[in-house]
Amino acid sequence: MTDGPRGPGDQGPGDQGPGGTPPPASRPARGQRSFWKELPILIGIALVLALLIKTFLVQAFSIPSASMQNTLTMGDRVLVDKLTPWFGSEPERGEVVVFHDPDNWLAGEPTTDPNALQTFLSWIGLMPSAEEKDLIKRVVGVGGDTVECKGTGPLKVNGKALDETSYVYAGNTPCSVDDQGGQFTVKVPEGSLWVMGDHRQNSRDSRYNQADKNQGMVPVDEVIGRAVVVAWPVNHWSNLPVPDTFDQADLNSSSAAAGVLSVAPQGAAFAGAVPFVLWHRRRVSAARTR
């Protein structure tokens, strides 16, 4: 026999808990967390991501002077690649790099006094820092290079003349005729760079800092990264490629070594992957023969 239809409050035998006790009341569905409660979490995550990006990937910098005209003009914002150096790559000739002041190159330069908002935005990488003493120049010589300027130019690297018409400021000569450093012949030591501004007659670069502790060189350890993109203002959007003149096949004999450095991380990754691939193929082969 079957019971008649049960009402909403009736319980059948199958509805009882262990020992005939009533079943536990079901918990009400948990309400969705409100937007205002989640907002601080979202902001915290965004700040952490911004700090990680600034520290390891990309950072924005502002151009404060005319020393890199017309490649970069005052007020431009550039994005600097900070990731590549983590894989052992070093700056190469022709690259535009940002670096820490090696030895008081910015002495006497005016500094700005940022407000609280600007300080916070620079801390998380959304604005350039006004407190950091950084410079931006073009790498002309790397470790082992001989760089020289005689008369008005051309600038020579290891005896090879560079055609700099594509980036040196219009009206400037590649070399400056003066007795403060514009005429020089230097040998760049390993682990160092010789840097110059594109606005040759308006740039206090390696030439005019030869009396410092590094003889005008920039230690590679002081390099923050390579400037790769002009991100602001919008009408200045562009990338910053290495000029063709630095691609001369016989520029120097150390170019092959530089090539080894640039592909070393990829080669190491490939070598590390080979044992895993061989192991995986053996497992697949063994499974098929079972």
- Catalytic annotation present for 176: no
Whether a cis peptide bond, with omega within 30° of 0, leads into 104 is no
Residue 137 designated active-site: yes
Instruction: Say how many Å lie between the first and final Cα of the chain, rounded.
Output: 57
Amino acid identity, residue 105? W
Q: Give the integer Cα–Cα distance in Å for 243 and 121.
A: 33
Residue 140 and residue 175 in contact, taking contact as beta carbons nearer than 8 Å: no
Of residues 116, 137, 281, 106, the one with CA closest to residue 223: 137
Catalytic-role residue among 62, 65, 67, 192? 67
Considering the candidates 62, 137, 176, 192, report the single residue annotated as catalytic: 137
Contact call for residues 70 and 168 (beta carbons, < 8 A): no
The answer to whether residues 149 and 184 touch, using CB atoms and an 8 Å cutoff, is yes
Q: How far is CA 156 from CA 17, 129, 162, 202, 220, in A?
A: 92, 35, 6, 20, 21
Strand partners, 249: none
Cα→Cα distances 271→51, 274, 275, Å: 32, 5, 8
Token pair for residue 75? Answer: 């007020």
CA distance 35 to 187: 62
What's the CA gap between 130 and 120, in Å, rounded?
11
| Total Cβ atoms within 10 A of residue 154 | 20
Burial of 290 (0-12, 13-18, 19+ CB in 10 A): exposed
Which are the catalytic amino acids? 67, 137
